[in-house]
Structure 1
Amino acid sequence: MEDSYVLELTEPKFKDFHLVYCGYAQCEACHSYGPATRPNYIIHYILEGKGVYQVGERKYQLSAGQGFLIEPDTLTFYQADPEEPWSYLWVGVGGEEAGKYIRDIGLNGNQLIFQYEDGERLKRIVLDMLRHTKVTMANLYYLQGRLYDFFSALTEDEVIDSCVDISKESIYIQKAVTFIRNNYSRGLNVADIAVHMNVNRSYLYTLFKNNLGMSPKDFLTKFQISQAREQLNLTDLSIEEVAEACGYRSCLVFSKAFKKENGMTPTEYRKRRRLETKHRPSAGPEEWKGIGRKVRFTIEEENEVTDKWENM
């Protein structure tokens, strides 16, 4: 069983990208969902405890500070740990451009998991959504804004944000970075990026040096290694499997690149990280009280909105 609080919009006002539902759940030991499919994208973020998420043959052991993506019409299964059952929040999104927004935060079919340090920030956003239960057009616009706040938080990328200096060339850099983020697992090289950008390699090099302070090759390597760190932290994949998932066809080349970036081998990094105590943001159930067990907004017509409320 789970104790959950849910906000659901059954007929959203915004067509290209919109909130479908959001919520919070505190699960009992071994509580599970699935195997099942969902019609929308859903982002889960773990506030406390541990659990497992499985998609096909891929199985991820996750804990507080980590999250996972459920893609539409994809068979998934997830279950709370028997000793430290998790609590998590979730945000479901839909719309014609929803996939594009999901890719903007670095998630896709190859990258289903993520790590985010400021869990309190995500929790405040979802709490705020759940508290806006008065059914008005103003609240629908407000919830849309908070959805953008949620995605804004998740788009903050350490590698990119620490380097980018806004300039007239930034649109080209954004296009290149998006291409890398969405295709890094395919074994990209600089030539592939240049072809996608429809520029020669010399101009691509100048763009990256002027805007990011590094060459395209260095940026690609840093991004691949950053994804490898996440895979090593969040999964039990072998080093060979991590290398392949991050675009390296040679495990030896991957290990050398990883050690150059991190000062230790992938195996050493994984062992050290698992010995470290992870920060787990608090999110006691008392913070969610007064919200209502289930809240649903039903928009039947643009100016006719009804709600259903089930009290605890």
Structure 2
Amino acid sequence: MSHVEKGYSVSSNPYPELYSDPHVLFAGVSRTLPGHMVGPKVHSYYLLHHVIAGRGIYCTGGQEFELHAGDSFLIVPEQLVSYIADEQEPWHYHWVAFQGSSVPQLLSSVGFTMTQPIAHHNNQWKIAKRFEQIQTSFYNKDAYSPYEAAGQLYLLLSAYGQILGSSSIVTASPPETPAESIVRQAIHYLTTQYAEEITMETMAESVGYNRAYLSRLFKQHTGETPVTFLLKLRIDQGRRLLREREDLTIEQVALSVGFHDPLYFSKQFRRLHGISPSQYRIQTIN
């Protein structure tokens, strides 16, 4: 349903049975009254606000934040929170409520944490537009609007990730050097495209670097050339299929991991592991 009053509008998910993860519950926008206060209270869902204009105070986890235009604040389920609009310059803000098992990891990966529940964005239009699009998707009541809203939420969180510049994966490790970043991209390319027709030229073009330079960096950081890395990767994937897919022939396994010639697959398999694919399958299955 959609509820609209002067200075206040909220649209709820019209098809809550079409579950997605994350699952958007409702979204809205409000021009609050001076001194408008919420809480102290707890919510059973995540609630993300973005301040368009005005100012106020947000309190959570023993911390107090003074927020202005361009600021956003996150409310976490079961966390005691309160927030109050300024008496002279009350808030005008958007909000979106959502839930799902994937949400904690999503929020952590873009930089939102219990100790860092706020973000500031200089490009007001970019963030506000995402909130508006989530609300509009519900307001239009399209049959697949829950999926559209979830997609818009992903784009919104992506924008916050660019703001906060933080990732639980990245911050857990030392910062990458430019060379390490290039090699990581090359490894990602090979591990996702190994079953396709890969050449070093296409990989270098995809990563955006000269082939010779890329090969040199790759060897320095992995101890292997990209060609050797790819060959071992394909053989390892072939071993997995030999163990797990008894219904596949040796030729089908070879084709599935990027070898167009099953004899070449068998030759390289024997060279690396000392036995033929057929013998390997017999040993591992029996």
Say yes or no: TM over 0.5. Answer: yes
**Mapped pair 1:148 → 2:148:** no
CA contact (8 A) 1:45 1:90 kept: yes
Distance 1:39 1:63, change over 3 A: same
Unaligned runs of 5+ in 1: 161-173, 180-192, 194-203, 214-312
Residue-by-residue CA offset, 1:171-211 (whole Å, 9 max, x unaligned): xxx764153xxxxxxxxxxxxx4xxxxxxxxxx67x43524
TM-score by length of 2: 0.55
- Aligned mates of 2:99, 2:114 — CA distance in 1: 16
Match of 1:3 in 2: 7
**Mapped pair 1:177 → 2:170:** yes
- Aligned mates of 1:18, 1:69 — CA distance in 2: 16
CA contact (8 A) 2:108 2:168 kept: no
Shift in Å, 1:94: 0.5
User: SS at 2:108's partner residue?
Assistant: helix
TM-score by length of 1: 0.51
**Mapped pair 1:208 → 2:177:** yes
- Aligned mates of 2:43, 2:164 — CA distance in 1: 31
Distance 1:81 1:2, change over 3 A: farther
Residue-by-residue CA offset, 1:37-88 (whole Å, 9 max, x unaligned): 1111111111100000111431111111111111100110000000111111
1:1-312 correspondence runs (5 A): 3-9=7-13, 11=16, 13-132=18-137, 133-157=139-163, 176-179=169-172, 193=173, 207-211=176-180
Match of 2:249 in 1: none
User: SS at 1:137's partner residue?
Assistant: coil
CA contact (8 A) 2:110 2:165 kept: no
- Aligned mates of 1:48, 1:136 — CA distance in 2: 30
Instruction: Give 1 or 2 for the bigger CA radius of gyration.
Output: 2
Shift in Å, 1:127: 1.9
Shift in Å, 1:103: 0.9
Residue-by-residue CA offset, 1:234-281 (whole Å, 9 max, x unaligned): xxxxxxxxxxxxxxxxxxxxxxxxxxxxxxxxxxxxxxxxxxxxxxxx
- Aligned mates of 1:105, 1:176 — CA distance in 2: 10
CA contact (8 A) 2:32 2:92 kept: yes
- Aligned mates of 1:8, 1:178 — CA distance in 2: 36
- Aligned mates of 2:144, 2:42 — CA distance in 1: 32
% identical aligned pairs: 24
User: SS at 2:177's partner residue?
Assistant: helix
Distance 1:54 1:159, change over 3 A: closer
Q: Which deviates further from its counterpart, 132-141 or 70-79?
A: 132-141
Unaligned runs of 5+ in 2: 183-286
Letter in 1 for 2:146: L
CA contact (8 A) 1:15 1:96 kept: no
- Aligned mates of 1:71, 1:158 — CA distance in 2: 18
- Aligned mates of 2:52, 2:168 — CA distance in 1: 33
RMSD of equivalent CA atoms: 2.6
- Aligned mates of 2:64, 2:54 — CA distance in 1: 17
CA contact (8 A) 2:23 2:98 kept: yes
User: SS at 1:67's partner residue?
Assistant: strand
